[in-house]
């Protein structure tokens, strides 16, 4: 997951920028230019309010009594618009092969496979476990999918933002990717990776590759315990930014270089010139990403200014200049979460001096700056983190203070080990110890509770902006503390009111691929029926798909979780749900003793203290005008087929009735007695043996929902679709529509 990106302290020193130098209180010229570029990109994307962003640059120039500076905003508008249009017009060389089975050979960098002919980059699914190097892989080329459920990953949007004018944009995914051959990475990057990981165990090596090279592939597969991944621990502790190369890495490494040059008594100008020059090969080593390019550009500008003796740079001019340099070659980075977090964090850090001055003077300045840096970076990135990841860590401040001390030693030592190549093994006892210490900190703080969050809408961003403005004005001494605090609290209250006044009242059929997961919501009742699963894969659908969707919908706990029957594609994901959210009760039908997936779910329920209830026909729960009634099983006998033992339910709200029938076949459907329905959820994903004529004749539904994904079973079967059509009902399919939200009366 992407987290907060700390900025280099060197790049955050307030003053004036050489080249953007202006007298006190005057506008640095890159600011209107950057606003124009941003506005132009937004206009290119069809967002007409991008013109308002450009206009803000003109207004700032006018307020600064330099209206001619506003022309830079207009120039930026043209540059940004042109960059976005040029990027969108690039042809896709892989179009002729979309849908075909292919074998590809190219350079695997841990994220994409780069092809030489045609020149293109391809995403691989599942991502290979092999380290970067030359890869031969086969599979089917498909187009990426967009966001199909709340809080879900927009693969298509993310891939569009990974290319630029000079870098091929990944437009395809190699599905069911199977590695045929692999040759480890060579060259200086291969040398560096061998030195970085020499003498370390797998988890330590994975961590070092993440914090030194930004390669999070291996660390994403590590777990502290069953259901407790290392990546989740980083996110819950507020330390995800440590795995994303950023200003912290640049500051630490540059600081070591400058310190060494001071010890060698190198002239002042040459100290900074050499440090600036070394940033270029460093960028080539680690690769281009929004956060690291921003940090390198800002660090380079600062160091060059010092080398020329032009004084300390203006932070806002430097940030704006870096934004322009990033966005012109990579216009769609504007929509990238990593880009947004990186620039928001560094903007927050520009206020470090102001906030540190308000802390007790007897505290050491280093401690004050460390405290305020973490607080400001977290506050600056709050809406993006909350809206994107659905949770806010509550222990970020102490976790970052402890981890920061370890990182100060680990980053330079790890980099030195990488430079030594295989000889880096001599440093492995020390780097291994520091890596283990950092992992221990992450594991401990990762167990702390988090504040769950839903989607942040336009109103939420406006409220945040008003609250943030009040805080900045307080720091600048323009308003008093009670006014700023009252404004922030009022904004928080206003954003909470809609959910209190009009709580959600709906059925949500989550798109979990070839599986089932349905959320029933009303005031005082949150019920999840099944949690999906991934047959024959280690992908955790519950933790990585269902839980983020629930958080994005604002679900902080569940009253009831229903496991309809012991099939992987229905209940495997529920283990992750029980571990992640408070659950009042787990409902099951047949308590099988020989099914590993159900046994795992029941074991997790015991660990989490969730009561388990074996439901039977007639059991029900009711709240908020919604009644949930069990139709099946009766419990008098059990079939040898799990599908026949499915828990079947009706959902009633006023005059509305819906039925969820699990994986019952046509014989079972006819026995349960669903009655007249408005909505029928087709049993067994549209299997030819379910949704029979009898149940359609009895229920006469106006609509039929089919929860289905890409599959080889032939679901939904043409016979089923024909029967539904003959009954006069409309079909809604999650494989075509994504998540379906059905309002209840």
Show the tokens assigned to 316: 């806002």
Q: Is residue 317 within 8 Å of 31, Cβ to Cβ?
A: yes
Mind listing the pLDDT tens digit for each residue in 173-228? 999 899 999 999 888 889 999 999 999 999 999 999 999 998 888 888 888 987 78
* Residue carrying structure tokens 């990057």: 189
Confidence (pLDDT) at 640:
81
Residue 343: its H or E element: helix 337-349
Q: What is the C-alpha to C-alpha distance for residues 120 and 243, in angstroms, rounded to an integer?
A: 27
Confidence (pLDDT) at 636:
79
Show the tokens assigned to 283: 């960028």
Q: Is residue 520 within 8 Å of 532, Cβ to Cβ?
A: no
Which residues make beta-bridge pairs with 142?
A: 173
pLDDT beneath 50: ranges in the chain: 1-25
CA atoms within 13 A on the CB side of 325: 20
Name every residue whose Cβ is closer than 8 Å to that of residue 54 and which is 6 or more positions away in sequence: 35, 36, 38, 39, 40, 73, 74, 76, 77
Confidence (pLDDT) at 311:
75
Q: Is residue 174 within 8 Å of 141, Cβ to Cβ?
A: yes
Confidence (pLDDT) at 682:
94
Q: What is the C-alpha to C-alpha distance for residues 540 and 373, in angstroms, rounded to an integer?
A: 35
Q: What does each C-alpha distance from 717 to 116, 567, 688, 700 come to in angstroms?
A: 42, 20, 5, 20
* Residue carrying structure tokens 């020499």: 198
Whether the model pTM is above 0.75: yes
Q: Is residue 128 within 8 Å of 137, Cβ to Cβ?
A: yes
**What is the phi/psi pair of residue 626, to 5°?**
-120, 135
Confidence (pLDDT) at 13:
36
Residue 139: its H or E element: strand 133-142
Residue among 723, 630, 731, 636 at smallest CA distance from 674:
630
Residue among 121, 91, 96, 125 at smallest CA distance from 106:
121
| Distance, C-alpha 367 to centroid of its chain | 31
Q: What is the C-alpha to C-alpha distance for residues 239 and 254, in angstroms, rounded to an integer?
A: 22
| Distance, C-alpha 532 to centroid of its chain | 20
Confidence (pLDDT) at 457:
81
Output Rg (C-alpha) for the chain, integer angstroms: 28
Confidence (pLDDT) at 60:
92
Confidence (pLDDT) at 312:
78
Q: What is the C-alpha to C-alpha distance for residues 323 and 317, in angstroms, rounded to an integer?
A: 10
Q: Can you tell me whether residue 445 is helix, strand or coil?
A: helix
């Amino acid at each position: 997951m992407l987290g907060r990106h700390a900025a280099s302290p060197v790049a955050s020193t307030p003053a004036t920028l050489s080249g953007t130098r202006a007298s006190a209180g005057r506008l640095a010229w890159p600011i209107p230019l950057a606003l124009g570029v941003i506005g132009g990109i937004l206009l290119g994307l069809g967002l007409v309010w991008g013109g308002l962003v450009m206009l803000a640059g003109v207004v700032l120039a006018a307020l600064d009594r330099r209206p001619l500076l506003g022309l830079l905003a207009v120039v930026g508008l043209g540059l940004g618009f042109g960059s976005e249009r040029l990027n969108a017009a690039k042809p896709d060389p892989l179009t002729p092969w979309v849908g075909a089975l292919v074998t590809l050979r190219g350079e695997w960098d841990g994220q994409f496979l780069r092809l030489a002919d045609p020149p293109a980059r391809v995403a691989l699914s599942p991502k290979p476990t092999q380290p970067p190097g030359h890869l031969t892989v086969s599979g089917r080329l498909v187009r990426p999918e967009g966001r199909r459920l709340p809080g879900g990953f927009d693969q298509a949007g993310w891939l569009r933002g990974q290319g630029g004018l000079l870098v091929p944009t990944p437009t395809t995914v190699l599905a069911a990717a199977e590695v045929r051959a692999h040759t480890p990475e060579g060259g200086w990057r291969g040398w560096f990776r061998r030195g970085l990981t020499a003498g370390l165990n797998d988890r330590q090596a994975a961590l070092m590759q993440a914090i030194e090279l930004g390669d999070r592939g291996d660390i994403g597969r590590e777990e502290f315990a069953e259901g407790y991944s290392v990546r989740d621990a980083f996110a819950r502790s507020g330390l995800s930014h440590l795995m994303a190369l950023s200003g912290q890495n640049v500051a630490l490494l540059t600081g070591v270089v400058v310190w060494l040059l001071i010890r060698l008594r190198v002239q002042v100008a040459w100290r900074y010139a050499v440090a600036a020059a070394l940033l270029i090969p460093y960028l080539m080593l680690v690769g281009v990403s929004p956060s690291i390019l921003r940090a390198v550009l800002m660090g380079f500008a600062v160091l060059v200014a010092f080398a020329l003796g032009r004084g300390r740079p203006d932070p806002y001019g430097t940030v704006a200049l870096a934004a322009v340099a990033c966005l012109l070659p990579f216009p769609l980075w504007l929509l990238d979460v990593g880009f947004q977090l990186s620039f928001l964090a560094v903007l927050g850090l520009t206020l470090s001096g102001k906030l540190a001055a308000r802390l007790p003077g007897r505290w050491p300045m280093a401690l004050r700056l460390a405290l305020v840096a973490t607080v400001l970076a977290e506050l600056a990135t709050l809406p993006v983190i909350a809206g994107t990841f659905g949770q806010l860590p509550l222990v970020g401040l102490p976790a970052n203070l402890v981890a920061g001390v370890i990182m100060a030693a680990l980053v330079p030592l790890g980099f030195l080990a990488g430079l030594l190549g295989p000889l880096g093994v001599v440093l492995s006892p020390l780097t291994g110890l520091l890596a283990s210490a950092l992992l221990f900190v992450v594991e401990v703080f990762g167990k702390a509770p988090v504040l769950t969050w839903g989607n942040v809408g336009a109103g939420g961003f406006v409220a945040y902006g008003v609250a943030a403005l009040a805080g900045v004005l307080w720091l600048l001494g323009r308003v008093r503390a009670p006014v700023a605090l009252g404004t922030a609290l009022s904004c928080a209250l206003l954003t909470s009111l809609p959910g209190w006044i009009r709580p959600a009242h709906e059925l949500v059929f989550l798109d979990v691929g070839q599986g089932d997961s349905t959320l029933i919501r009303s005031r005082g009742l949150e019920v999840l029926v099944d949690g999906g699963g991934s047959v024959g894969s280690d992908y955790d659908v519950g933790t990585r798909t269902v839980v983020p969707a629930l958080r994005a919908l604002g679900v902080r706990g569940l009253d009831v979780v229903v496991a309809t029957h012991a099939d992987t594609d229905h209940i495997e994901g529920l283990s992750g749900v029980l571990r992640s959210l408070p659950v009042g009760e787990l409902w099951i039908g047949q308590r099988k003793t020989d099914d590993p997936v159900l046994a795992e779910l029941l074991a997790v329920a015991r660990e989490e203290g969730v009561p388990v209830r074996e439901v039977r026909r007639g059991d029900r729960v009711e709240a908020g005008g919604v009644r949930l009634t069990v139709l099946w099983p009766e419990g008098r006998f059990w079939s040898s087929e799990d599908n026949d033992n499915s828990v079947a339910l009706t959902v009633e709200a006023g005059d509305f009735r819906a039925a969820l029938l699990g994986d019952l076949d046509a014989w079972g459907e006819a026995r349960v007695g669903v009655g007249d329905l408005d909505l029928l959820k087709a049993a067994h994903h549209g299997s030819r043996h379910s949704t029979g004529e009898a149940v359609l004749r009895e229920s006469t539904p106006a609509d039929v929902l089919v929860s289905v994904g890409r599959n080889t079973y032939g679901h939904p079967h043409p016979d089923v679709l024909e029967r539904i059509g003959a009954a006069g009902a409309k079909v809604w399919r999650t494989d075509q529509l994504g998540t379906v939200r059905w309002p209840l009366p």
